[in-house]
Amino acid sequence: MTEENDLDELRKLARPLRAEANEEMLLRLRLRVADRITRPTVLDVLVNWFRPVALAVAAVIVILTTLLVQQDQSQSTEMLAQITPVSLSGEDLYRD
């Protein structure tokens, strides 16, 4: 019950702080809404089109780079596995 009393007290204290909407405030709100609803410019259209294309190109570049690095590493591993030992006078030596 104390929580309800606290909330009621808080509401009483906040009542004088409430702002009443006057004509100037309503005009500002209308202008903000009208500004957001206006038609997009050519630049807005280009930016909205370019962002997804740029992201897709960046994703493809990252994927291709990853694949090339993996392929290069696997080829290096295969080359190391193909090194055959060379022995001279009973000692095993490897070619560099």
Q: What is the pLDDT of residues 25-45, one digit of tens each?
A: 889 989 888 887 877 888 988
Phi and psi angles of residue 84, each rounded to the nearest 5 degrees, phi first: -100, 140
pLDDT for the residue numbered 62: 96
- Domain hosting residue 63, numbered range: 2-80
31 domain residue, yes or no: yes
33 domain residue, yes or no: yes
**Cα gap 34→27, rounded to integer Å:** 10
Geometric angle at alpha carbon 58, from 53 and 63, rounded to 5°: 125
Q: What is the DSSP code (8-state) at residue 38?
A: S
Confidence of residue 88 (pLDDT cuts 50, 70, 90): low
pLDDT at 80 exceeding the cut of 80: no
pLDDT digits over 57-75, tens only?
999 999 999 999 888 777 7
49 domain residue, yes or no: yes
92 domain residue, yes or no: no
